[in-house]
Amino acid sequence: MRTRMVAGNWKMNKTFEEADDLLFGIVDGLQSLKLEGMEVILCPPFPYMEMATDVAAEHPVRIGAQNVSQFSTGAYTGEISAEMLRSMDVDFVIIGHSERRKYFGETDEVLSAKVNQALLQDLSPIFCCGEQLEEREAGRHREVVQAQLEKGLFHLSDEDMKEVVIAYEPVWAIGTGVNASAAQAQEMHAMIRELVQERYGQALAQDMTILYGGSCNPANAAELFAQPDVDGGLIGGASLKADDFISIVRSL
């Protein structure tokens, strides 16, 4: 069974008090919703993890990290290991976000090591892929995404791949207010599912959750989520306001 999901990536936003307000605003808003067959995931900044996992213990949300080290433990100043996240009841981790690729120089090799670390600790990677504007304009979007998946994920065993969530996030749609159209999203999600099927077989591909991310908001979420291969969203800006985020969850 494919699980439908909405995940909020808070990125580097909110003070402690603001994060507390947002967290409780979201779980209050979720109370009136039926969440059968779906997961709501919140990915706050690291300092707010404990607050978030405490709330998640009492409410129907699960917690994801926005990053994880490619190393397991030891002298890596400033890094956070998968083992630390697991020990705090974090269940997911975003890996391969375009902002990490762009600003922190994360290469496909680093990302594949991060995926391995996450899986060793039973964290589900939310693996992001997506092309830049120039790549789409040059008609290269399919091959770019294919290469990202092959280098970051397709070394995994079937057993590990079952734990992975893929997020298609075209870079030109992130934070721009210009979302991929429902047809563009569907085309890329279907392609991603096809690639997973070629490598891992039909059953695994059909069960795989593939999220769309990039200027997803309360006004466009329902149309995007109605596409047969779009199983939910990875939400940035609109996850920072409880009402907007709840409205997106309601669209699923």
Q: Which residues are catalytic?
A: 97, 169
Query: Minimal CB distance to ligand 13P: which residue?
Result: 236
Which amino acid belongs to residue 108? Answer: D
Q: How far is the CB of 168 from ligand 13P (least distance, A)?
A: 11
> How far is Cα 188 from Cα 22, in angstroms, rounded to an integer?
32
Contacts of 117 (CB under 8 A, 6+ apart): 68, 69, 70, 71, 72, 81, 82
**Which positions touch ligand 13P (CB under 6 A)?**
9, 97, 169, 174-175, 213-216, 234-238
Q: How far is the CB of 126 from ligand 13P (least distance, A)?
A: 9
8 Å CB contact between 98 and 138: no
> How far is Cα 234 from Cα 238, in angstroms, rounded to an integer?
10
Complex with ligand 13P: residue 85 or 95, whichever CB lies closer: 95
Q: How far is the CB of 44 from ligand 13P (least distance, A)?
A: 13
> How far is Cα 91 from Cα 80, in angstroms, rounded to an integer?
14
Q: How far is CA 252 from CA 5, 37, 39, 219, in A?
A: 8, 10, 10, 12
Is the torsion defined by CA of 85, 89, 90, 91 positive or negative? positive
Complex with ligand 13P: residue 145 or 216, whichever CB lies closer: 216
Complex with ligand 13P: residue 63 or 200, whichever CB lies closer: 63
Complex with ligand 13P: residue 80 or 213, whichever CB lies closer: 213
Q: 204: which strand partners?
A: none
Q: How far is the CB of 53 from ligand 13P (least distance, A)?
A: 20
8 Å CB contact between 153 and 192: no
Complex with ligand 13P: residue 6 or 200, whichever CB lies closer: 6
Question: Which ranges of 77-201 does DSSP label H, i.e. alpha helix?
Answer: 82-87, 98-103, 108-120, 133-137, 141-152, 158-161, 182-200
Tokens of 122: 């039973």
Q: How far is the CB of 10 from ligand 13P (least distance, A)?
A: 9
